[in-house]
Amino acid sequence: MRAVQSTAIAHFESSAVASRARTAVSLLPCTMDDRGTPYHHFQSVAVRAHPAGRRDDMVLSLTTPLILGSASPRRRDILASLGIPFRVLHASIDERAALSEDPRAYVERIVLEKLAAVSGAVEEPSRFSGLLVADTIVVLDSEILGKPTDVAHAEALLARIVGRAHNVLTRYAVSVSPHLGKQATARTVESRVTMRAAGPEEIRDYAATGEGLDKAGAYAAQGIGAFLISRVDGSFTNVVGLPACEVVEDLRGLGLLTRFPLPKA
């Protein structure tokens, strides 16, 4: 049976929440191509759709917020730091990869399944402007590295990625009300993370903090785990869990955001 949880989130909740979001997430500027379109290195665009416009009552606002179909605190922080009003509604699905499943094919499949599961749990679609779902994976030598099951597993994962470079892929999809189950646009953004070499003691001590236990690859780029990262090529917020630059671009392209940044209430 699908487990569904709902939490109301407003980007004006409190100054403390906003402060934590600003501390947790560093928003990096994106590069513009010759047509003025933002992009990052290692990014690939899978699906994009840009309707001509939206009804005023369906534009993103405090009265018609975005649904964030994710339980990730990092994604909440990123949207909150952008000042985007949203509500959290997530549904649990089986996220196990199929045998020899290609990483890109995997995130595309998982995001579609999340979109279907979360949209199916929305009771009043007209109360929301749209739905955003996402999935982030760490890929090393074409292998998907999942979340560690315990501290020992975290140590083993970290031992594999230190002193090397790996790729982080985030796939997200956006649907618009009232057709929340229909993907309007989707994108896979890829960043390359280079980690410095680290000894067994450093790996053991970091794994013991527990910071990486709920994260793919067993580390948090926005937390203590930053001490292991020597370089990030591409979007940093993508590594954290949601590429801010691309998400805003697509929300504007779909007409969910008519202006950005949003004016303060």
Q: How many beta carbons lie within 10 A of that of residue 201, not counting itself?
A: 8
> What contacts 176, CB < 8 A, 6 or more positions away?
51, 54, 58, 129, 130, 131, 184, 254, 255, 256
Token pair, residue 26, equals 């560093």
The answer to whether 84 and 66 have CB atoms below 8 angstroms apart is yes
Q: How far apart are CA 201 and CA 26, in angstroms?
A: 29
Which residue is catalytic, options 135, 150, 233, 250? 135
Q: How far apart are CA 25 and CA 17, in angstroms?
A: 12
- As a whole number of Å, the end-to-end CA separation of the chain is 40
How far lies 142's CA from each of 46, 106, 166, 172, 249, in Å? 19, 12, 9, 20, 29
Token pair, residue 56, equals 């005023």
Report residue 105: phi and psi, to 5°.
-65, -35
Supply the DSSP symbol for 248.
H
Catalytic residue check, 233: no
Q: How far apart are CA 248 and CA 41, in angstroms?
A: 17
Mind telling me the catalytic residues? 135
